[in-house]
Amino acid sequence: MKIVSVHEGTVPISSAIRNAWIDFSSMDCSVVAVVSDVVREGRPVVGYGFNSNGRYSAGEILRRRMIPRLLAAEPAELLADDGDFVDPAKAWAVMMRNEKPGGHGERSVAVGVLDMALFDLAAKIAGEPLYRWLSRRHGDGQPDESVFVYAAGGYYAPGKGLRELQDEMKGFLDLGYRVVKMKIGGASLAEDLERIEAVLEVLGGDGSRLAVDVNGRFDLRTALEYGAALEPYGLFWYEEAGDPLDYALNATLAEHYPGPLATGENLFSLQDARNLIRYGGLRPDRDYVQVDPALSYGLVEYLRIQRMLAGHGWSSRRCVPHGGHQFSLHLAAALKLGGNESYPGEFQPTGGFADDAVVRDSRVGLTEIPGIGFEAKAAFHRVLRELHD
């Protein structure tokens, strides 16, 4: 088989919400369609990808470097040894030709979008849902049939008071989630504690069902001050307290804060994730690694990260990727991760799972159609089809 064409575009996923660091008024996202020469039911098989949320579209890098390199490669250079499909790992090496190491920036976003599309394509050609295809090749062949998901939200927004925050959280529980996440660090400690208490009321006072997310806003002193105030609640986790690359801050926080910490959504490479494990003081018995494969060079790199973690004695169950998207849901089931994020209310049309996905007791099943299952998410599928139809 060969790649016939690659189509790239940008979709807005903007909204009025704000975390402690950014607002989402101009957030957008790259989408790609990789069209193959394989024809099924009279139509070419097409792989789709997009770049999660939280970083902006990477069209320039896609158009000027990654897509031309893929299209210039000899088809045989890209083919898997044992099958008639483009091997995402070989494509990865082609896309990264003439790229220096380090300074990963958002090159990792561009590669991640194409990597997602190539895995979607490979699983579609095999006629299997991605999680089953992946589990056979990179797991133990016995994927999890459902995945733990928590509902992320609790943003700051204009006109949003405690009542609205509570209503949002009640809505998450009504949808079947047991664990919810809210933003902190975008207001004073006193105000954030009021917001936390309001959400805990909805959760029957059970702090182990609430995660909080600072989006990297705090310096060490503030991270420790909040940590001391949060500790008595016994929270599900305390996320990205300081700058994602400030491993020393994280290590000091881990010495003082006994509850679970979570971080990694803004680490975009094996090397950055390894530095977190080496120097970030994370504790393999309780903390969480949130690297988002769509933002960080795709699944080819995520598999390397999984091997690195295993080599440092970490269970894959300690990984709960950021992003709330269908791609990571398949990875979570196939690689036996600890779960996946979910944003029931945000980041449309790209975010979230299949239209008919049902969450029960904070677990969700997967789509059984070939590939990632974007075809089962109607509004997003329309956007993706427009890229090439």
Ligand X SMILES: O=C([O-])CC(=O)C(=O)O
Contact, 26 vs 10, CB < 8 A? no
Q: 272 touches which of Mg ion, ligand X, none (CB within 5 to 8 A by kind)?
A: none
Nearer to Mg ion, 224 or 241 (CB): 241
- Which residues make Cβ contacts (< 8 Å) with residue 232, sequence separation at least 6? none
Q: Which of 7, 124, 322, 377 is flagged as catalytic?
A: 322
By beta-carbon distance, which residue lies closest to Mg ion? 213
Joined tokens for residue 305: 């990260």
Write down the least CB distance from residue 112 to Mg ion, Å. 17
Nearer to Mg ion, 168 or 213 (CB): 213
Q: Does 215 bind ligand X (CB under 6 A)?
A: yes
Q: Which of 90, 104, 124, 183 is flagged as catalytic?
A: 183
In the annotated binding site for Mg(2+), the residues are 213, 239, 265
Nearer to ligand X, 92 or 155 (CB): 155
Q: 196 touches which of Mg ion, ligand X, none (CB within 5 to 8 A by kind)?
A: none
Distance CA 307, CA 127 (A): 27
Contact, 271 vs 102, CB < 8 A? yes
Q: Does 350 bind ligand X (CB under 6 A)?
A: no
Q: 178 touches which of ligand X, Mg ion, none (CB within 5 to 8 A by kind)?
A: none
Write down the least CB distance from residue 113 to ligand X, Å. 18
Determine how many CB atoms are found less than 10 A away from the CB of residue 351: 24
Nearer to Mg ion, 28 or 213 (CB): 213
Write down the least CB distance from residue 33 to ligand X, Å. 26
Burial of 313 (0-12, 13-18, 19+ CB in 10 A): exposed
CA dihedral 61, 62, 65, 66 (to 10 degrees): 130
Joined tokens for residue 199: 């959400």
Tokens 């954030």, located at residue: 192
Helices and strands: H and E segment counts in the chain: 14, 12
Write down the least CB distance from residue 316 to ligand X, Å. 19
Binding site for Mg ion (CB under 5 A): 213
Based on the residue annotation, tell me whether 322 is a catalytic residue of this protein.
yes
Q: Does 265 bind ligand X (CB under 6 A)?
A: yes
Contact, 65 vs 52, CB < 8 A? no
Distance CA 99, CA 244 (A): 23
Q: Does 106 bind ligand X (CB under 6 A)?
A: no
Q: Does 152 bind ligand X (CB under 6 A)?
A: yes
Q: Does 287 bind ligand X (CB under 6 A)?
A: no
Q: 341 touches which of ligand X, Mg ion, none (CB within 5 to 8 A by kind)?
A: ligand X
Write down the least CB distance from residue 235 to Mg ion, Å. 14
Q: Side chain identity at 98, as an amino acid letter?
A: N
By residue count, the chain amounts to 389
Burial of 379 (0-12, 13-18, 19+ CB in 10 A): exposed
In the annotated binding site, the residues are 19, 53, 100, 155, 181, 213, 239, 265, 322
Identified binder of ligand X from the candidate list 213, 246, 272, 301, rule CB under 6 A: 213
**DSSP string across 228-260:** HHHGGG--SEEE--S-TT-HHHHHHHHHH--S-
In the annotated binding site for substrate, the residues are 19, 53, 100, 155, 181, 239, 265, 322
Identified binder of ligand X from the candidate list 341, 359, 362, 371, rule CB under 6 A: 341
Q: Does 19 bind ligand X (CB under 6 A)?
A: yes
Q: Which are the catalytic amino acids?
A: 183, 322
Residues that bind ligand X (CB under 6 A): 19, 54, 152, 213, 215, 265, 322, 341
